[in-house]
Amino acid sequence: MMRNPLYLAIFPVLFLAGCASQQPTQVPQKPVRNANVQITESQKVQKPKPVVVAPKPVTPTPQPKTHYSSFEDWKADFSRRAIASGQNPSDVQRLLASASLNQQVISLDSGQPEFSKMPWDYADSAASDGRVSTGRRKFSEQSTYLYGLQSRYGVNAEIIAAIWGMESSFGAVTGNSYLPSALASLAYDGRRREFAESQLLALMTLLQRGDVPWSQLDGSWAGGMGQTQFIPATWLKHGVDGDNNGHKNPWSTADALASTANYLSNSGWVRDLAPFYEVRLPAGFDYSTVGTKLPAARWAALGVDTIDDVFLNANTQMELWLPAGKEGPALLLSPNFDVIKVYNNSSNYALGVSLLARAINNQAGLRQPWPRHERALSTSQVTQLQNRLTQAGYDTKGADGIIGTNTKKAFQRWQADNGQIPDGFISQRSAAALTSW
């Protein structure tokens, strides 16, 4: 018997149409006094000829070139297309005149880290002593406002604060890249042209509305703005005027925190549900279920027990995640874990936010220690692993040097067929057979 079982709460036109017949409109006529009266041709009622309206010609939206000879060439073409789409010509010219080519941004966008980080590296950094200490102080200063947002949007106050901490160190570091130059450089480079150009157009709208002042355009090299690092198009859609001053400014603390709560709520946040629950796995557990989503009731039937006593709706879909394999913590991820990833599509990021939130709220972190003796693969080793898995019949859907879901699932299948416990955890030790020859 497990000491703390998982408690489950199970919750259990006519259209009527009437149609009144209408008589055709009659033109009043004088009584006919002589049956032999002849009606002349001019007296006959003439049916009007149908009026044919020629459709207005549709001007197609100008498409970007496939190649630009220079940054100025891209500027000229983008200016033409932006104005054709309805943007104010003077605003377009003003924004582009201030933008310069930033080669460092292009390098950062195309570069990859030499080594993929282990999950405890993210966790240690996210919930470092300094960040937790600052977070508790900032949370105390904003507690009334944060709990008000929690009441309105249903998003935990400490989660809002944790994203604030992860994105800008609680407003202290909002980026020093000039946004028009950063986005224009990304657009000119072409790898993510559609994304970067759409952000420039959204930024122009924010400037025209007065939400973003022309004097405050420094952000991240990837286009993030303000205290919770929204990109312009997302801010345009989810930004909130938290301080009720008539503007939605991402550099305003009140606006940024309210917008974060609004964004998470709009993305499907479920009230009163933690992002994850730490669990114990029974002896003889079927590790092939790792990475799958099942109703909470099904996990309970498989013997998965929470370490802390919790109540979950039996139908809530939960995913079992072993971030460090069979020797590390075991977590049941709720739908809210995926919602956090709208900020950064990384499980390690969502884990970092969740652990920082718990620390700010004076809650315990993970109980099971990390297997810190494990070592990560380099980017070239990950690429090699992906190629060899695919060649062996375990398709990773590409070889990009990044350990994603497809690579983990392929490796998990390889483990099951080659005498390993299929926990999907990739390390120098577990992947040695595929990277050492």
Residues with Cβ within 8 Å of residue 354, at least 6 apart in sequence = 159, 162, 274, 275, 276, 337, 340
pLDDT category of residue 160 using cuts at 50, 70 and 90: very high
Name the average pLDDT for the chain: 87
HSE-CB for 324 with a 13 A CA cutoff: 21
71-112+173-241, CATH topology level: Helicase, Ruva Protein; domain 3 (1.10.8)
Q: Enter the tokens of residue 76.
A: 């000229």
Q: How far is CA 290 from the centre of its chain?
A: 24
The CB density around residue 157, as the number of other CB atoms within 10 Å, is: 23
Residues with Cβ within 8 Å of residue 367, at least 6 apart in sequence = 278, 307, 329
Residues with Cβ within 8 Å of residue 119, at least 6 apart in sequence = 323, 324, 328, 347, 348, 351, 370
Per residue in 321-352, pLDDT (tens digit) is: 999 999 999 999 999 999 999 999 999 999 99
Per residue in 260-311, pLDDT (tens digit) is: 999 999 999 999 999 999 999 999 999 999 999 999 999 999 999 999 888 8
- For residue 21, is pLDDT > 90? no
Q: Enter the tokens of residue 60.
A: 């197609």
Name residue, tokens 């991240």.
220
What CA–CA distance (Å, rounded) separates 174 from 123? 21
What CA–CA distance (Å, rounded) separates 65 from 50? 44
The beta strands (E) that lie in 156-229 are given as 177-178, 218-219
Average pLDDT over residues 99-117: 83
Q: What are phi and psi of 186, to 5 degrees?
A: -65, -40
What CA–CA distance (Å, rounded) separates 368 from 326? 11
Residue ranges covered by each domain of the chain: 71-112+173-241, 379-435
pLDDT score for 58: 42
- For residue 155, is pLDDT > 70? yes
Per residue in 43-62, pLDDT (tens digit) is: 444 544 554 444 444 445 56
